[in-house]
Structure 1
Amino acid sequence: MNVWNPKLRQAWKPCVYQSISQSGFSELPKSNGFLIIEANGGLNQQRLSICDVVAVAGLLNATLVIPIFHFNSVWRDSSKFGDIFDEEFFIYALRNHVNVVRELPEDILQRFDNNISNIVNLRVKAWSSPTYYLQKVLPKLMELRYVVFGF
């Protein structure tokens, strides 16, 4: 008996399908707006939030801003995304699936006094369906052009 072989119909399936041109880069459609994730909790909760927002950005065809970590009063950790993760590789690895930028464009930041806390924060229910994001979040994103997610 081989315990590592998947059972019939239980094979792993990719969560994204690559459509890479001959140059190795596929052009993504025009973005519907910017998603900003404010991840909090421990490292694992932050990682899960990042994975979730990458999937949502792909679903909504949104540009993802490099994640922001909340300073946690329990952990007292002021680490930034780039202190823990390789930003260059993050952007490179997602290049065919999601547009990623390091920060919001300056004109948007100026509208909010360079404080993203002033941008609309959409609190979404855990385990929301793709339909929820398409019906509730996408119209708000397209209206405002930028939203903050707090998972």
Structure 2
Amino acid sequence: MAINNLKDLYIEELKDLYDANQQANDTVEKLIDAATDTDLKAALERSIDGTKEGNAQIKAILDSHGEGVGNVTCQGMKGLTKEAEKHVLKEKYGDDSVRDAMLISQYQRMAHYAITGYGSVEAFAKRLGALEDAQKLETCKEQTMEGDLEFTKLAQGSINEAARAA
């Protein structure tokens, strides 16, 4: 599909964000098994539910524009998920708390990518006058930001302290 105007760009970026979320969830499911801190595991599980809800909103928006989710592969998230799997699942750690600290770091990279994606499509929706879309996307962005803050609190709480003591 040729991208000729802001509407085309908006649709393409929604599809890209949908795929980014799918990829992130696939990786987070693997990261849950690697996490040792019970609060961290619970936060990861909640993040999967949140991302699924975000994708349901994206799909509904695409449907309202007569579009499907398509066959787009988000290359940016592909790189981030590859890095997360490398650093969390394949790297050797002398202490589980250090792996948990790395897991948070890698998770937050993926979350920040999603936050910027939501922010971009929200801005496009506003410019296009799709205010209902913009509201849904703003809600998704804010929920992703709240989740990211939860991971920061976990890191600043017991996880980074345990990793420092290791």
Q: Normalising by the residue count of structure 1, what TM-score does the alignment of the two structures yield? A: 0.27
* Larger helix percent: 2
* Larger strand percent: 1
Q: Normalising by the residue count of structure 2, what TM-score does the alignment of the two structures yield? A: 0.26
